[in-house]
A and B are shown apart, each in its own frame.
Chain A
């Protein structure tokens, strides 16, 4: 019984925010950027588990690619050091390139998969790379019975 929205714009205009779900970082492999792929229970009725897990796994792969320490990163590091890091005024670092890919991917996922289900993913870079914030929207026209149960988290925290 997920409410249907046709696109992101319609989502913003006709929906009201009911809840936010935060996917935390997974530190089991150290300080590399990786998020838990565990499916949160709040999204149970909103999206299929496999779609969600695919999104998070793809994001984790992107971050692993950005932080990979190998030949390319050594080359970039040594070349940059030789130019006293002035080269970064002209070219983009590998991490920045991957972050752009990530934001394009998130936008595409939002448009194709999440917005039609009344959800919106916020790019982790906007939250300090700490969490993946998923906003859950409810259609304004609905009676609010579902939002009543799911929005207790945001309003009763204090």
Chain B
């Protein structure tokens, strides 16, 4: 490839990814845009545990056992690592179709639908597939220009299709999907244990100390206890309930999304084709299944590909230093998502490239299209 190397800082692929995610640490961390509730989660967990370590642990270590704070520390570290793993990892985002794939799919749809009489709405874009002798409908995603794989869904908050989409959790500041569901489940499970643990030992501490010095002075000596008990009490109901709910879903190999939509419930509906009909097998598949790698390649380096050999169409390529993925922003079917707001890093260039490229595309289509596509084939 006779690319002319321009000496400037390498652009990584995460900078040009469509969708409403924020990236940190040069693409290593991937989260949703709204992170406020995530910071609240962090504050509550770290704050409550700090109070526990400061007020209760010294007394309990001496009067009961030093294992108590040690186990609390281990549990706290596990909760934090599961939370950070859930929040920072790619949930299983499906990259959007490149233009050639999108047009290939369009053609397949047109061929399947035949001629639609003028004035009539074209039929909905649905593909039927048979999975384990059940008919499952695959829907077409107008934003990502793909037929969503089974169990995938489009998250409107992150503007991405996510594989095995469970739900978008504001508490962890990310979607929960195929790649991070087990971390999310372990987070809720370990947080339940931690909350129960702190709550129990708070009560034990207050009882033991009150025996010695009376209830009121105990509260005066360790005021943090009241706060901890309050936080734990309210957290317990929600987190333990959530853990129970997800345990139920895992045993049936269902996602929250499917449960809410009622995809597999009811007599006339299809039975869940993904369930092994065995609770142990279902749990093992979800929790001990293979760790899927990310297909996003966030930290891959984008190479600027100038077009030396076909002077006929340099304008569409050179004014477009970003890869062909952004061409999907000139949609075949218009949708309400404006791509410009999703890509703040190329905000300056994208309005420029949008307007000139679309009319030029039409005029230069036949002779230059093979050359334009060639760039993406590198």
Query: Which residues of A are in contact with B by a Cβ distance under 8 Å?
Result: 12, 16-18, 20, 22, 25, 27-31, 66-69, 73-74, 76-78, 80-81, 84-86, 88, 93-96, 99, 120, 125-131, 133, 135, 147, 151, 153-155, 157-158
Are A125 and B131 closer than 8 Å at their CB atoms? no
**Inter-chain contacts of A127 with B (CB < 8 A):** 95, 98, 101
Are B293 and A78 closer than 8 Å at their CB atoms? no
Which chain A residue has the least Cβ–Cβ distance from B77?
Answer: A84
Are A67 and B290 closer than 8 Å at their CB atoms? yes
Which chain B residue has the least Cβ–Cβ distance from A27?
Answer: B129
Query: Which residues of B are in contact with A by a Cβ distance under 8 Å?
Result: 1, 77-78, 81-82, 85, 94-95, 97-98, 100-101, 103-104, 106-107, 129-132, 136, 138, 146, 149-151, 164, 183, 186, 273-274, 284-285, 287-293, 295, 297, 332, 365-366, 369-371, 373-374, 377
Which chain B residue has the least Cβ–Cβ distance from A20?
Answer: B100
Cα separation A94 to B291 with both chains bound (whole Å) = 8
Which of A77, A130, A135 interacts with B287 by CB under 8 Å?
Answer: A77
Are A69 and B288 closer than 8 Å at their CB atoms? yes
**Inter-chain contacts of A158 with B (CB < 8 A):** 103, 332, 365
**Inter-chain contacts of A29 with B (CB < 8 A):** 131-132
Task: Give A22 Cβ to nearest chain B Cβ, in Å.
Answer: 5
Are B94 and A157 closer than 8 Å at their CB atoms? no
Asked, given contacts A69-B285, A154-B103, A158-B103, whether A31 binds B164 with beta carbons under 8 Å apart, the answer is: yes
Asked, given contacts A28-B130, A29-B132, A131-B101, whether A74 binds B288 with beta carbons under 8 Å apart, the answer is: yes
**Inter-chain contacts of A120 with B (CB < 8 A):** 377
Are B370 and A151 closer than 8 Å at their CB atoms? yes
Which chain A residue has the least Cβ–Cβ distance from B366?
Answer: A155
A-B contact pairs, 11 of them (CB 8 A): A20-B373, A22-B104, A69-B288, A80-B291, A94-B290, A94-B291, A95-B292, A95-B293, A129-B295, A147-B370, A158-B365
**Inter-chain contacts of A155 with B (CB < 8 A):** 365-366, 369-370
Asked, given contacts A67-B290, A69-B285, A130-B149, whether A22 binds B101 with beta carbons under 8 Å apart, the answer is: yes
Which of B81, B149, B332, B370 interacts with A85 by CB under 8 Å?
Answer: B81
